[in-house]
Amino acid sequence: MARKTGSDDPLAPLTLAVGQEELLLDRAVQEVVAAAKAADADTDVRDLTPDQLQPGTLAELTSPSLFAERKVVVVRNAQDLSADTVKDVKAYLGAPAEEITLVLLHAGGAKGKGLLDAARKAGAREVACPKMTKPADRLAFVRGEFRAAGRSAAPEACQALVDAVGSDLRELASAVSQLVADVEGTIDEAVVGRYYTGRAEASSFTVADRAVEGRAAEALEALRWSLSTGVAPVLITSALAQGVRAIGKLSSARGGRPADLARELGMPPWKIDRVRQQMRGWTPDGVAVALRAVAEADAGVKGGGDDPEYALEKAVVTIARAARSRGRA
């Protein structure tokens, strides 16, 4: 979990998120945006990369508005800003504008250290987002995720989850969310074993990815391996549902940069890029067919049918065919 220093108010004039852990950096931004929108639903959010923040851009974005609107300005990879733009940012730090929250995402380290020091000297609210390279750090992260969800997990269960899922924090966070959603009461090692035994590449999300990409044979192979190694069928139907819903959400959204769509759809930017690649060949009718297939499989897995494995195989084949519906039109 990200560590905070200084003011703990996400609406502080300046938030400095330091580190290279993408999930934690994204969460630092999301926390500020959520707080700003809670204070003013019409908050204007600008999410910028270094090439978009040219000399003079920050002054333009932070100039007084006739309507005194609340604004959040996010600057990613601040260590890569040009020297002239860094001068603009440092000047702004000396006299921040009212109703505006500036969020600087900085990798830390020597590059761009002058800006980092200036932000800290200006009293920035700092969120530490270090890359979690040690198993103990990832274990602490998992425990924190369960606590944040208000759920109890046995120490052995947390360790088993880290061992099974690996080092990717996004996957660990997703696994915790799935267990919290599907399991009642204390989450123990046996539950984690049922859900996550087997090779990582044969996970429920791999089944879903191959299905929505129209690769039926590979999806069926991953499905059979997952089931043979003890992955819970309900986890697979959940992953299939998430995959199809993501296709539907993105296909109906207006165009834009991944960061903008991520805020609109509630997905991380990296997932927007992945879903964009997966949605080729999909039609609105195909999405509807796939969602019905997932619902039928879910009912079969949860007791509505005699053969959960067959229900899943049928859903995977139907989804893969739906993924190629545009090509058959």
Whether the pTM exceeds 0.75: the reply is no
The pLDDT score that the predictor gives to residue 302 is 80
Report which of residues 299 and 17 the model is more confident about. 17
The pLDDT score that the predictor gives to residue 268 is 65
Alpha-carbon distance of 172 to 162, in angstroms, equals 7
Q: How confident is the model at residue 199 (pLDDT cuts 50, 70, 90)?
A: very low
What average pLDDT does range 241-263 have in this prediction?
77
Q: How confident is the model at residue 65 (pLDDT cuts 50, 70, 90)?
A: low
**269 has a pLDDT exceeding 70:** no
Q: What is the DSSP string of 4-64?
A: EES---TTSSEEEEEES-HHHHHHHHHHHHHHHHHH-TT-EEEEE-GGG--TTHHHHHTS-
Q: Where in the chain is the domain with CATH 1.10.8?
A: 135-196
What average pLDDT does range 157-183 have in this prediction?
86
Share of the chain above pLDDT 90, in %: 51
**201 has a pLDDT exceeding 80:** no
Q: Where in the chain is the domain with CATH 1.20.272.10?
A: 204-323
Report which of residues 242 and 80 the model is more confident about. 80
Distances (CA, A) of 204 to 9, 52, 79, 148, 195: 38, 38, 37, 24, 9
Q: How do 14-19 and 3-5 pair as beta strands?
A: unpaired
19 pairs with which residues across the strands? 129
**218 has a pLDDT exceeding 50:** yes
Report which of residues 69 and 319 the model is more confident about. 319
Average pLDDT, the chain: 86
The pLDDT score that the predictor gives to residue 294 is 94
Q: What is the per-residue pLDDT across 23-51, written as a single tens digit (0 to 9) for each?
A: 999 999 999 999 999 999 999 999 999 99
Distances (CA, A) of 296 to 213, 228, 230: 20, 22, 22
To 5 degrees, how large is the angle CA 11–CA 15–CA 20?
A: 140
**267 has a pLDDT exceeding 70:** no
**265 has a pLDDT exceeding 80:** no
Span of 186-190, 255-259, 295-299 with lowest mean pLDDT: 255-259
Q: Nearest-CA neighbor of 220 among 211, 228, 233?
A: 211
Buried b (16+ CB within 10 A) or exposed e, 308-329: beebbbbbbbbbbbbbbbeeee
- CATH architecture of the domain 204-323 equals Up-down Bundle (1.20)
Q: Where in the chain is the domain with CATH 3.40.50.300?
A: 14-129
Span of 17-21, 216-220, 253-257 with lowest mean pLDDT: 253-257
The pLDDT score that the predictor gives to residue 329 is 45
- Taking the CA atoms of the chain, what radius of gyration do you get in angstroms? 22
What average pLDDT does range 129-153 have in this prediction?
92
Q: What is the per-residue pLDDT across 83-106, written as a single tens digit (0 to 9) for each?
A: 999 999 999 999 998 889 999 999
* Fold annotation for 14-129: Rossmann fold (3.40.50)
Q: How confident is the model at residue 280 (pLDDT cuts 50, 70, 90)?
A: confident
**197 has a pLDDT exceeding 70:** no
Class of the 135-196 domain?
mainly alpha
The pLDDT score that the predictor gives to residue 202 is 47
Highest mean pLDDT among 7-16, 190-199, 221-230: 7-16
Residue 9 phi/psi, 5-degree rounding, is -90, 115
Instruction: Tell me which residue has tokens 């609105």.
Output: 284
